[in-house]
Amino acid sequence: MFLWCAQPILQAAVAVVLWRRKVHKLFPVFFSYLLAQLVFFAATFPLYGRPGAYELYFWLFWFAEAVGAILGFKIIHEIFLDVFRPYHALKDLGTPVFKWAGLVMLLVSIVVAASNSFGQDPVIHAVTTLERSVRIVQLGLILFLILFAGFLGVSRRQVSFGIALGFGLLAGAELMLLAMHSGGLVQQGSMNLINMVACNTSIVIWLAYSLLPQVVRQTEVNHLRTQRWEQSLADLQRPTSNDSLIPMFETMVEKAFSRSSSLEPGDDHPHQPAQAARVKSAAVGSTRG
């Protein structure tokens, strides 16, 4: 009970620090996630163990879990946008990928709930399936940042890295506990206790990162390969026109014509202006043809 009651206190502290330091403007979805967790705790805690309130508690609890899973996935997208902020083409590519991934997760959850072939409440099974999918993506995100943070110029002291680290720790603990519980290695009570400790640890990580001085991104570092990816995607989004060579040829002919027309009347090449004009008309006609 103490660990459960400590969660809203820590979450409120993180929200206050983000608000006072104006960091909530950079991570509005994460800030909304913290506020939503506080609201859901205030709604569900008085109903816990109360006679005759089990059904209401059940629906509120699993509704909160579903909202938390959806916001958790949006937070992943928010971290992605912050990490790839200098790379606009990569950022634009990732946005539709995240949208389709979220749609697939939602469809899988609906199909699981409709099939209900596991002898479990369809609402519970749908929400848990969605949660596990989000946890897998969160764990993959923090592993990606740990491996490629320096490669992308992302400091490990940035708030976005701390948010991903907290969710990654929570996701890793939950997935490991689920695997151990399925194998009969961990009982339900121990599983809930360890999971709550991991959740509080994640919130402490968020609080620590929110209190750190803001770190300026290492934009001066030359990440050659990432810039090549960025340039390649930019070229695919903005293909070069087939007529782009015409202005180049016209410019070359204009320069030749201007040099020839600047000759004196008594020079050795009296017919050069007429020849240059013919060259110009022939070059322009061939390129446009």
Three-class secondary structure assignment of the chain: CHHHHHHHHHHHHHHHHHHHCCHHHCCHHHHHHHHHHHHHHHHHHHHCCCCCCHHHHHHHHHHHHHHHHHHHHHHHHHHHHHHCCCCHHHHHHHHHHHHHHHHHHHHHHHHHHHHCCCCCCHHHHHHHHHHHHHHHHHHHHHHHHHHHHHHHCCCCCCHHHHHHHHHHHHHHHHHHHHHHHHCCCCCHHHHHHHHHHHHHHHHHHHHHHHHCCCCCCCCCCCCHHHHHHHHHHHHHHCCCCHHHHHHHHHHHHHHHHHHHHCCCCCCCCCCHHHHHHHHHHHHHHHHHC
> 245 with 157, same domain?
no
Can you give the residue range of the structural domain that contains 59?
2-235
d(CA 175, CA 140): 12
Instruction: State mean pLDDT over 264-281.
Output: 48
> 50 with 152, same domain?
yes
**Boundary-marking domain end, from 235, 252, 271:** 235
Which CB contacts under 8 angstroms, 24+ apart, belong to 225-233?
Answer: 225/151, 226/87, 226/90, 226/151, 226/152, 229/87, 229/89, 229/90, 230/87, 230/88, 230/89, 230/90, 231/89, 233/89, 233/90, 233/92, 233/93
CB atoms under 10 Å from CB of 42, counted, come to 10
* Range with lowest mean pLDDT among 119-128, 180-189, 279-288: 279-288
> 149 with 273, same domain?
no
pLDDT of residue 91: 63
Q: Is the pLDDT of residue 194 over 60?
A: yes
> 141 with 173, same domain?
yes
Dihedrals phi, psi of 217, to nearest 5 degrees = -65, 145
258 confidence band (pLDDT: 50, 70, 90): low
> 224 with 118, same domain?
yes
d(CA 287, CA 134): 55
Dihedrals phi, psi of 169, to nearest 5 degrees = -65, -45
> 214 with 262, same domain?
no
Residue in 214, 209, 236, 218 with CA at minimum distance from that of residue 85: 218
Q: Is the pLDDT of residue 284 over 50?
A: no
pLDDT (tens digit per residue) in 4-33: 889 999 999 999 999 999 989 989 999 999
> 269 with 141, same domain?
no
d(CA 77, CA 145): 13
226 confidence band (pLDDT: 50, 70, 90): low
> 115 with 254, same domain?
no
d(CA 280, CA 252): 9
Instruction: State mean pLDDT over 75-83.
Output: 86
Q: Is the pLDDT of residue 207 over 80?
A: yes
d(CA 98, CA 117): 29
**Boundary-marking domain end, from 216, 235, 254:** 235
pLDDT of residue 54: 87
**Boundary-marking domain end, from 192, 212, 235:** 235
- pTM value > 0.85: no
pLDDT (tens digit per residue) in 165-180: 999 999 999 889 888 8
pLDDT (tens digit per residue) in 135-175: 888 888 888 888 877 766 677 888 989 999 999 999 999 88
> 257 with 224, same domain?
no
> 187 with 266, same domain?
no
pLDDT of residue 9: 94
> 203 with 252, same domain?
no
d(CA 99, CA 237): 19
Structural domains counted in the chain: 2
> 127 with 212, same domain?
yes
Instruction: State mean pLDDT over 78-106.
Output: 73
In our burial notation (b when 16+ CB lie closer than 10 A, e otherwise), range 146-180 reads eeebeebbbeeebbbbbbbbbbbbbbbbbeebbee
